[in-house]
Structure formats: C-alpha cells, structure tokens
Amino acid sequence: MTEPLTERSARVVAARKLTRRAGRDAAGLFLAEGRQAVVEALADPAGVREVFATEAAAETHRDLLTGSPVPVRVVTDKAAATLSETVTPQGLVAVCALRDVPADVLLGAPPRLAVALAELADPGNAGTVLRTADACGAGAVVFGAGSADPYGGKAVRASAGSLFHVDVVRGTPLEALLPRLQAAGVTVFAADGGGEATLPEVTERLTGPVLWLFGNEARGVPADLAAVADARVRIPMRGRAESLNLAAAAAICLYATQLARG
C-alpha cells in the first residue's frame, strides 16, 4: 500500500497555496472540503483535478471515492489539517477548477433571476447567498469588485455545494454591467433599508427577468449603484429590529421573487 502523503509532499504543498486567494487566482484552482462539496464537485469530474482523503475519510466515504474518475490521494491527518480552515477538518478535500463565467455570457443570455453583490465583505454571507440563490432558482451570482471571494474555504462551506450549481461572475465593475443588463431587458432592484418602494409593492414587477443587488453588510448598496437600479426596495419590518442580516434579507427578496412567479 502506498504511504500517505504528508504535509511536506509536493502535491499537498501546492494544494495548501489554494487556501489563499492569490494562490487560487494564480493556479485557477480552489479547494472544496467535506462530503457534500465533493459530491457536487464530482458530478462534473472534468472540473476536478484530484481528491485528498485521510485513511479514515477514505473508508467512511468509500461509496463516493471507489471508482472515482479523478485521482484519490491518501494523506495523513496532519496533511489534511493544512488544507482545511476549520477547527475539526473533515479529511476530505477536492481540488477543483475555478468556475468563473465571463460577464458577457450573462449579457448574451440573461437568466430570469440573478444576484449581484456590491462590496460584500463576509465570506460566510457570500456562501449563504449562493446557496439561497440556488434554492430560489437563480442562474447567476455576480461578485462585484471588492467583494469576498466565493472560492475561499468559508464561502465554499457556506454554499453547501451550491457553488457548483450557479454561474459565478467575479470582479466585474457593476456600474458598467448593470446598465447593459437593463438594456437587455433585466429589471434591477437594489435592496435598501431606506428604499422608496416596499417589497410587496414591487411584486408584480418580479415576474420578468430580475437582478437583485445587495451591498456591504455595514454600508449597504453604494449610492452610485443604487441610483442605477430601477427601484430601491425595502423589506417592511413590524418589530423593533434596526435592520436585517444581509443573508436574511437576500433570502426574503429571492423567495418573494420565487413566490411571485408561482
């Protein structure tokens, strides 16, 4: 039996560089940790370079890894820990190709529902929005310049595999993209606690192609982008909460869009 790779093995060292954004962008690769993420990754094996698994994880997930169309490399527990950003590593990590889609793809065939994130800071929120967008049938999530990287470990875990289900656009200047989408027939709504319209008031406008724009957790949607939107929309609140968590607000807006379409 081949000895497990250690944290000093060249393949593990190369993979460890993917825990940093600069390493991911340079290699065009990212890490997907845990069974759910690896299951979704292997649904399109062409996008997976290799899988690392500890001996225990290889045994636990034998049904998933036996006959895998990509190489499965057994690693030590310590090596697996260097590839994980969690306190308790799962011992199962896939090395995957970045899934970025050029903005022009969206312009050529705009999805009926999309999300754009302007200066979103928290990677956990990034992954949660991806997951919610997927659940509500969105076709794409656009991460504007300055937003958290959806391929970071925390974001990938929070997406629970949904990163592999929707188109991801990164780094596009939203001030240029949004007007072009509007010209292609997409209505842009900016989620804004001080918006002039309430979510119920725009229900009838949610049935066509829609892009929801969400901003920074603390500062909201930048004023210049909010001015581009077809409407700034607020979620009515009856309690005394000052505001909603960004991911919660996104879930409400996206689910309302799904309901409006029957």
**CATH topology match: 10-97 vs 103-260:** no
**What CATH fold (topology level) applies to the domain 103-260?**
Alpha/beta knot (3.40.1280)
For the chain, the farthest-separated pair of C-alpha atoms sits apart, in whole angstroms, at 67
Predicted confidence band of residue 262 (pLDDT cuts 50, 70, 90) = confident
Nearest to 61 by CA among 82, 84, 47, 41: 41
Per-residue model confidence as pLDDT tens digits over 144-187: 999 999 999 999 999 999 999 999 999 899 999 999 999 999 99
User: What CATH number is given for 10-97 in this structure?
Assistant: 3.30.1330.30
**What distance in Å separates the CA atoms of residue 94 and residue 25, rounded to the nearest whole number?**
17
Show me where the domains of the chain are located: 10-97, 103-260
Identify the bridge partners of residue 32 per DSSP, sorted by sequence position: 94
| CA separation for the pair 94, 51 (Å, rounded) | 4
Structure tokens at 229: 């939107």
Q: Is it the case that residue 84 has pLDDT exceeding 90?
A: yes
Give 143's strand partners.
Answer: 117, 170
**Residue with more model confidence, 126 or 243:** 126
Q: What angle (nearest 5°) sits at the alpha carbon of residue 22, between those of residues 19 and 23?
A: 50
CB environment 93-106: b (16+ within 10 A), e (fewer)? bbbbeebbeebeeb
Q: Rounded mean pLDDT of 3-28?
A: 97
CA distance 62 to 80: 17
Cα separation, 173 vs 118, in Å, equals 9
pLDDT tens digits, 46-58: 999 999 999 999 9
Q: What's the rounded Cα separation, in Å, for the pair 187 and 207?
A: 10
Distance, CA of 121 to CA of 45 (rounded, Å): 31
- Whether residue 1 is predicted with pLDDT greater than 60 in this model: the reply is no
Q: Does 72 score more than 80 pLDDT? A: yes
Nearest to 199, CA basis, from 258, 142, 245 = 258
Over the chain, what is the mean pLDDT? 96
pLDDT of residue 34: 95
What pLDDT score was predicted for residue 2?
77
State how far the Cα of 190 lies from the Cα of 230, in Å rounded to an integer. 8
Task: State the pTM of this model.
Answer: 0.95
Query: E-assigned strands of 67-106?
Result: 72-75, 92-97
User: What does the pLDDT read at residue 71?
Assistant: 97
Q: 205-217, pLDDT tens digit by residue?
A: 999 999 999 999 9
Reference 179, options 257, 107, 101, 105; nearest CA is 107
Backbone angles phi, psi at 158, to 5 degrees: -65, -25
Exposure letters 46-69 (e unless 16+ CB within 10 A, then b): ebbbbbbbbeebbebbeebbeebe
Top-confidence residue, 242 or 80: 80
**Continuous segment of H or E residues that includes residue 149:** none
Q: What is the mean pLDDT of residues 66-92?
A: 95
